[in-house]
Chains A and B, each alone.
Chain A
Amino acid sequence: MSEHVLSSKTYYGIWIALMILTVVTARVAFIDLGPFNTVVALVIATCKALLVVLFFMHVKYASEKLIKMVIVASIFWLLLLLLLSLADYGTRYVRHG
């Protein structure tokens, strides 16, 4: 892992951003955006996750690409599971429930 020592200001800044995004996602849920509610919620969640991974987990300052590859590969494999399964579920009869 990197020996890079981040300033505490950076950490507090990320923390404030995370708090704001949390409040935003909770409030936006009450606004009717149709199908985009889900999209917005997931986008905000991904932004929060990126902040934690890049800054709190120091991935932005990682000295080698290997760690980033591990993260990308894991997420890619999860998406593989979800999307290839959808190849089946998405092309069956649509269930009404």
Chain B
Amino acid sequence: MATAVITPERENYLNQEYGIKSWLLTVDHKRIALLYLVSITFFFFIGGFFALLIRLELLTPAGDLVQADTYNKLFTMHGQVMIFFFLIPSIPAVLGNFLVPLMIGAKDLAFPRINLLSWYLYIIAGVLMLHCICTGGVDTGWTFYTPFSTAFSNTKVVEAGVAIFIAGFSSILTGLNFVVTIHRMRAPGMTWSRLPLFIWAHYATSIIQLLGTPVLAITLLLVVFERLFHLGIFDPTRGGDPLLFQHLFWFYSHPAVYIMILPAMAVESEVVACFTRKRIFGYHFVAMSSIAIAVFGFLVWAHHMFVAGISLYSALIFSALSYLVAVPSAIKVFNWTATMYKGSITFTTPMLYAFGFIGLFTMGGLTGLFLAALGIDVHVTDTYFIIAHFHYIMVGGAVMGYLGGLHFWWPKISGRMYPEWLGKFAALIVFLGFNLTFFPQFILGYMGMPRRYWQYPPEFQVLNVLSTAGSTILAVGYVLPMVYFLWSMRYGKIADDNPWGAAGLEWQTTSPPPTFNFDVPPVVTWEAYNYDQIPAPAEEVSVER
């Protein structure tokens, strides 16, 4: 790989045009990705702020920091902001937007203006959500269960519902863009079997976004109508069924968790392949598993309703289906691990996050299997066991996948290297902080501590204190990358076109890429992950500079 000598600075997508208009009216998928990066980072810290308040309250058994009603708002806002304004967009809107056209050899997404519209819808939704938070917030839990949300809550349910409705359309349009792009705009020679697994996983994610999000949209709309016009569709005193809301809500919200994890799996495949310098083991199995996760994910939603009042027979069906959905995820974990066997592994920051992902996602996923068993679920549902389960997947899995991906592609995005030793250090802090925060919660839940309670019996305090301590460490681990990424944009080492020696079309163009991605449109004649043909990077990238 030739080291780029950049004097004077080549024209790329960052310096091609300056000024706020060139950013706010851009249709370049790479600039839109950066717009998203800034916005979702903002909402991540908002959601994190609520998390810290929750953990502060839970330091002591008594409800002594905030009132119970306020606590209800804290966990609601934490969930809504983190899920709809951070996790769901995160990898697809930042890394997906940036990389999908590059990886398939296209100049941009199929609909660049719709891409920009996606971002504006996200911003409008975000502003509405912020306004909702600042003028009283919502206390229904992120799940908006009726009839509390429709008939009894005195908080701003309508505003939050509308905000998430709009954010949903942002998500739908992103998914639509990706599916059309992947079908229609692959470079000559880029057959489906030569696509990076990152593309397969984002394709599957987009299918879920397209088919599931509209159901959330109509459900929230019905909740808003019910609240505004006192309808009774979800009101049991007037013949309505609260479970109808839950069926409609979870029909989206379960597949939504696959929207959140599939893109992290996408990153995992790319990072593991690069830092073991091997083709992903069982490429076709991993690709088909992505599609299987997307399809099976729609078949299991009522496992969130086992104790809500659904019939026992349907509970049995959904329990069995929930075991089925674990299979494709397990296939992926086995294949990543098999890839590492006899691979040439380098422990770079992205690879550290990748290791963390495999371990923590597996723990989260396995505890999901425990929950699929009706007998266990009845015991631990609505306890901290559930909270630990999904945080292992969402934070230990998805967020670590996101951070790993940001580090891996940072040189391509910014043209700079982040400080590698700091990257490793932060990754370790995140891993330690994460486990200290959430592992005690498995025990707490099993011991019976309910979720969404602002006070608890004194015997649970020690574990809660450990969890809160962990959360402060985790917070440090999250702040560090933000600081050194910003620092690197000015002072970081200038990156080569392919500092990792990675496979993939995105590494065949400059760092950062030109506005139209490739000076010469690529023609693909090689298989994905052709590490046998790519030399390892000239310099040892894991050594601190």
Contacts and interface: CB of A to CB of B under 8 A. Distances in A.
Chains A, B in direct contact (C-beta < 8 Å): yes
Interface of A: 66, 73-74, 77, 80-81, 84-85, 87-88, 91-92, 97
Given A66-B183, A77-B298, A91 B314 contact: yes
Contacts of B299: 80, 84
B308 to A, nearest CB: 10
Contact of A88 (B183, B215, B239, B247): B247
B314 A87 contact: yes
B526 interface: no
Q: Which 8 A-B pairs have the closest CB atoms?
A: A88-B314, A91-B311, A91-B313, A87-B314, A88-B310, A92-B311, A77-B211, A85-B247
Nearest to B247: A85
B376 interface: no
Interface residues of B, number: 18
Interface of B: 183, 211, 215, 239, 243, 247, 251, 298-299, 301-302, 310-314, 317-318
Nearest to B310: A88
Nearest to A93: B311
A85 B243 CA distance: 10
Contacts of B243: 88
Nearest to B179: A70
A39 to B, nearest CB: 24
A75 to B, nearest CB: 11
Nearest to A84: B299
Given A80-B299, A85-B251, A92-B311, 11 more contacts: A81-B251, A84-B301, A84-B302, A84-B317, A85-B247, A87-B311, A87-B318, A88-B247, A91-B311, A91-B313, A92-B310
Interface residues of B, dominant DSSP: helix
Nearest to B302: A88
A77 to B, nearest CB: 5
A63 to B, nearest CB: 14
B151 to A, nearest CB: 20
Contacts of A92: 310-311
A62 to B, nearest CB: 14
10 contacts: A66-B183, A74-B211, A81-B251, A84-B301, A84-B302, A85-B251, A87-B311, A88-B302, A91-B313, A92-B311
B215 A81 contact: yes
B251 A87 contact: no
B288 to A, nearest CB: 16
Contacts of A74: 211
Contacts of B211: 73-74, 77
A19 B317 CA distance: 43
A68 to B, nearest CB: 14
A67 to B, nearest CB: 11
Nearest to B241: A89
Contacts of A84: 299, 301-302, 317
A91 B311 CA distance: 6
Contacts of A77: 211, 298
A81 B310 CA distance: 15
B203 to A, nearest CB: 13
Nearest to B312: A91
Contact of B239 (A87, A91, A97): A97
Contacts of A91: 311-314
B290 to A, nearest CB: 16
B298 A87 contact: no
Contacts of B317: 84, 87
Contacts of B312: 91
Given A80-B298, A81-B215, A87 B183 contact: no
- Which residue, B239, B247, B299, B314, has most C-beta atoms of chain A within 10 A? B314
Given A80-B299, A97-B239, A88 B251 contact: no
Contacts of B183: 66
Contacts of B251: 81, 85
Nearest to A87: B314
A89 B313 CA distance: 10
B246 to A, nearest CB: 10
A11 to B, nearest CB: 28
A78 to B, nearest CB: 9
B321 to A, nearest CB: 9
A91 B318 CA distance: 13
A88 B243 CA distance: 10
Contacts of B247: 85, 88
A87 B215 contact: no
A36 B310 CA distance: 29
A91 B239 CA distance: 18
Nearest to A66: B183
Nearest to B308: A88
A50 B183 CA distance: 26
A4 B306 CA distance: 52
A94 to B, nearest CB: 11
Contacts of A66: 183
A87 B243 CA distance: 13
A87 B314 CA distance: 5
Contacts of A85: 247, 251
Contacts of B302: 84, 88
Contacts of B298: 77, 80
